[in-house]
Amino acid sequence: MAACYFRRSIASQLSRILDLPPESLIKSISAVPVSKNRQVADFQLFVDSVTGNRSSGHSKADLQLQAQKLAEKLNCDTIVSEISIGSGTVNFKINRELLAKTVLQHVFNDGSEYGIRSELFSALPKRKIVVEFSSPNIAKKFHIGHLRSTIIGNFIANLKEALGHQVTRINYLGDWGMQFGLLGAGFQQFGSEEKLKSTALQHLFEVYVQVNKAAQDENVKKMAQDFFKKLEAREAQVLSLWQRFRNFSIEEYVHIYKRLGVHFDEYSGESFYHEKSQEVLKMLDKKGLLQKTGEGTGIVDLSEKRDLSSCSVVARSDGTSLYITRDLAAAIDRMNTYNFDTMIYVTDKSQSSHFQKLFQILKLMDYEWAERCQHVPFGLVQGMKTRSGEVVFLEDVLDEARTRMLQNMASAKTTKELENPLETAEMVGLAALIIQDFKGHLLSDYQFSWDRVLQSRGDTGVFLQYTHARLHSLEQMCGNGQLANFNAACLQDPQALSILQHLLRYDEVLYKSSEDLQPKHIVSYLLTLSHLAGAAHETLHVKGSAPEIAQARLCLFQAARLVLANGMKLLGITPVLKM
């Protein structure tokens, strides 16, 4: 990684003056973000990060003085061509030709590992990581609410995998519980074998709506309870019907996951832990953690003073398991199976309290690894409707994004002749949905707007795809850049330098996202990269320029496209080559 080479060089000079090991200085030297008023510096060191004054409330004047004293002791060399001071910072400008040569060389040599093959990650041990995400309820069509969990979980798994960790992707299906008593009873009354075979989830959804209307009827209630009891007792006929609901559901989900470009290593579900949850209740009892209320409900006291001011219900009065009990059994089973270092659950923020309780109970059960379980919560999407009105199902949204994208592409003057316009529209539409979702902090709710999502200019997924396709077509037209014979002196225009400076920062951005698991850092970086590449494309012409200049510019644009593609793939987007 180019930035590492420069950071190391700056750190080794600083280490001699500050009498600190160079390794401890690396993370304090950061690439300067590109801004409109074109900074001359490429790297900066915040003085308070190395002089131990962070919390001692030093005044700006003090910091400025320290920066000045430090800068006076430093010398320019073959790598650093200029040293200056900013507000509490020492700034370093890299030799311009060396900057161009080193950055492009590293982008081409490291390929898909550019930014990852960095010393920012080298000290991180390789871990076993389990990510549980998506997790829809079977026998229901894939709800739009599950889109966020699916794409966020996919991003986290992609990022962790790219960083060399061993990742297991688990889809923990909601495939057990009282609602299946209701659905089973409903199917026996209103179900059709024929419809189940042709449009399984749509039909089961209709049955569920019908039976729900009658759910207050004592007869229907009793049928539902009887069906679920038989299911818990593993009665063959009832179990076989439930198994078919489950298989049909997974079949339809796999089709949707394929459209989203998402895969899982394991399709698990609450049903797997129905029996194991009884073992958990016995363990809780044995440890003296299980208490009974007057009504016979099983609870665990979570309060500090042991006064039941905070508790969690873990069993119904009839002894049947609850969602949290099955989650406890699943967590213990996964530890036994995968021996994970970290387990990440991706669900909406309404489940935060559930996971707090889950991790607390595991700690009370003396599982020290409970500390390594993490909940990544996200906010809600508001106002997502298709043309036909209120939207419920994800497939409708994917179809709508594809249709609208096709129309936009058909009316755009720049659209190329495409072999498969439908496939391109699908990939661009999905990019649009993902970028809209990932732009802000995951915990925030956001207002969905089709017009904003599908704009081809501005900060959208469509714009990223358009930039990638445009840069790819430049390569097709002018041939691929050949590193061996490009002259770095030809890349000294402000627009070229801005792209080079921006490429320097990629590893820091990846590091930030790997720390807080927020995709917004990568999204913001890629949008800036696309704006910079777009502006440069307008002024730094390849066609019609002298061969040496054309060759150097082509290398620059190719490097920008490669990093853009790498980042898009981490986010779960397939870059298109034409649009």
3-state secondary structure of 429: helix
Task: Spot the catalytic one: 69, 126, 143, 222.
Answer: 143
Nearest 5 degrees, angle CA 83-CA 88-CA 91?
20
Tokens found for residue 98:
């060396």
What b/e readout covers 386-408, taking b as 16+ CB neighbours within 10 angstroms?
beeeebbbbebbbebbbebbbeb
CA distance 532 to 38: 12
Separation of alpha carbons 241 and 231, rounded Å? 10
CB 131 within 8 A of CB 346: yes
Q: Could you tell me which residues are beta bridge partners of residue 83? A: 92
> For residue 441, what is the DSSP state?
-
**Both tokens of residue 221?**
């209630």
The token pair that represents 434 in the structure block: 């993902």
What's the first-to-final CA gap in the chain, in angstroms?
31
Within 10 angstroms of residue 257's Cβ, the number of other Cβ atoms is: 18
Instruction: Output the six-digit token pair for 72.
Output: 């006076």
The rounded distance, in Å, linking the Cα atoms of 452 and 473 is 26
In the beta sheet, which residues pair with residue 348? 378
d(CA 574, CA 579) in angstroms, rounded, equals 13
Q: Indicate if 472 belongs to the active site.
A: no
Catalytic status, residue 531: no
Closest CA to 468 of 574, 316, 355: 574
**Catalytic residue selected from 101, 106, 146, 203:** 146
Q: Is 140 a catalytic residue?
A: yes
The token duo for 425 is 């529209």
Please, which residues have CB within 8 angstroms of residue 298's CB and are 6 or more apart in sequence?
A: 281, 284, 290, 291, 292, 313, 314, 315, 316, 319
Cβ(25)–Cβ(50) below 8 Å? yes
Residue type, 116: I
Instruction: Determine what percent of the chain falls in helix, strand and coil, rounding each to the nearest 5.
Output: 60, 15, 30
The structure tokens listed for 223 are 């049928």
- Which residue among the candidates 101, 106, 140, 203 is catalytic per the annotation? 140
Structural element, H or E, at residue 459: none
Name the one residue in this structure whose structure tokens are 């398991």.
Answer: 321
Helix (H) or strand (E) holding 348: strand 342-348
Question: Reduced to 3 states, what is the DSSP secondary structure of residue 124?
Answer: coil
d(CA 107, CA 114): 6
CA 295, chain centre distance (Å): 44
Active site residue ranges: 140, 143, 146
